[in-house]
Structure 1
């Protein structure tokens, strides 16, 4: 299961999950065992390749598009077949180097023109709300520690304040302010667990003016104090040294 804001999706065996926006998400594996382990393939799509293909396919403009941020549907054999062939090439580096780029382009094409690719078509349409919201997300991520100035962002992407709020929530499942807060907290967790910084420095790094406020929001979101994540980071070197001994 994956959740972002008020949106959630359950992924079953054989399903394909397409994510078209940068979202602060929480996910959980609900079924797995040694006999039937959880296995998944993550393929990062090349936006430049998608744009080139979309520009070449004028008829694609008439296909159904979606303004959401993620969707789940049964895998389509049209793009699963070239994906299998691409994975098989991993055993032969030379073949992968020579033919891999062509297969990746085919995978992008098949996915873009399939029913699964509706989200991607919505993202690529320059006049779509999904495309505009995508540009606003880039601004928020680049200015994560700065105060959120919604009117300025709305003006940059050519939308009114009310339309921006409405379509931002439709695409991401949350408001711009809540999106920024979630992203700040997830970034703060990553800093605490991997950089070795203090709780206060993590709070200031992601834009909080008060470590107390950061700790309160952190516990509300993750169910534990940020100091617990800090202790996890401090234990890792010791665990590594014990493993090496």
Structure 2
């Protein structure tokens, strides 16, 4: 199934009616992000939360684990864990803007489908925490129906949970949903590392001992480090640093906090070290970066 022009036009009109020409609109009842960019962007570093994204028009490029993944209209990608990723919009214009729909992945919905998925011919191969492929007809149709609920709040409240569950079902059945299928097993490496990531997110401003994280994951320190890196493409301490820098950048962008205060707020003891690591991460000092910050989903 091709993504029909009426679907594309509806998403474009929806974003234009709810924001600026280039913007990200969030529909609260559906927890649905609708994105639009009218020109290509520079690479931006961010930490993706577990999401699925379907590109309706234009193209995007993401760099993860040293590999460049390119996706265009008609493709979808799945992010199974909170991952540090660098991405940019590569194809967008006023006439044909980049358009995409993003839906957060809910682990509780995945787990509710566990008994209906396991043992029914679903392969656990193709395991990667960032997977891309061409969206199949069923997924495109479910995403279209889910988006159309944004036109009616009552339908969104009543039908939204049902179609959202269908979307999660489609993701679990997808070839690039292998890591999501791994998450259904609470004893899998994917599930154990997910617990450790949740702890780092909760306590990223304070010092975290690797042994404590390994205990949370139920692994030895060496095994934990190995599996953490295989899933996130970084070490636990580097991952914590990524979270600190991202949060500091968000605080600075709000404009109501000094750079040194932002550094202390996220756990840095030295503003000099913070500025050095910030510059290395984002390619500009905190002060020079203010006018170019773009938050990208």
Distance 2:118 2:180 in 1: 15
Q: Which runs of 5+ in 1 are unaligned?
A: 234-245
CA apart distance, 1:6: 3.4
CA apart distance, 1:5: 5.1
1:203 maps to 263
CA apart distance, 1:68: 2.9
Give 1:136's match in structure 2, choosing from 175, 196, 200.
196
Distance 1:205 1:144 in 2: 11
Structure with the higher strand share, 1 or 2: 2
CA apart distance, 1:24: 2.9
Q: Whose RCO is larger (CA < 8 A, sep 6+)?
A: 1
Pair 1:106-2:170 in alignment: no
1:163 maps to 223
Equivalent residues in 2 for 1:2-81, closer than 5 Å: 2-4=62-64, 6-60=66-120, 63-65=123-125, 67-81=127-141
CA apart distance, 1:215: 0.2
Q: Is the 8 A contact 2:275 2:286 kept in 1?
A: yes
Q: Tell me the alpha carbon deviations over residues 196-245 of structure 1, each in whole angstroms, 9 at most, x when there is no partner.
A: 21111111111111000000001111111112245779xxxxxxxxxxxx
Aligned residues: 233
Give 1:94's match in structure 2, choosing from 132, 146, 154.
154
Q: TM-score, structure 2 length as denominator?
A: 0.72
Q: Tell me the alpha carbon deviations over residues 46-99 of structure 1, each in whole angstroms, 9 at most, x when there is no partner.
A: 221111011333315862155532111111222221221222233233333333
Distance 1:153 1:52 in 2: 27
Equivalent residues in 2 for 1:94-243, closer than 5 Å: 94-194=154-254, 196-229=256-289
Q: Which runs of 5+ in 2 are unaligned?
A: 1-60
Distance 1:54 1:196 in 2: 45
Structure with the higher helix share, 1 or 2: 1
Distance change >3 Å, CA 61–CA 180, structure 1 → 2:
farther
Q: Tell me the alpha carbon deviations over residues 81-121 of structure 1, each in whole angstroms, 9 at most, x when there is no partner.
A: 12212222332333333333222222221221221322211
> Which of the pair has more CA radius of gyration?
1
Distance change >3 Å, CA 7–CA 178, structure 1 → 2:
farther
CA RMSD of aligned residues (A): 2.1
Q: Is the 8 A contact 1:67 1:171 kept in 2?
A: no
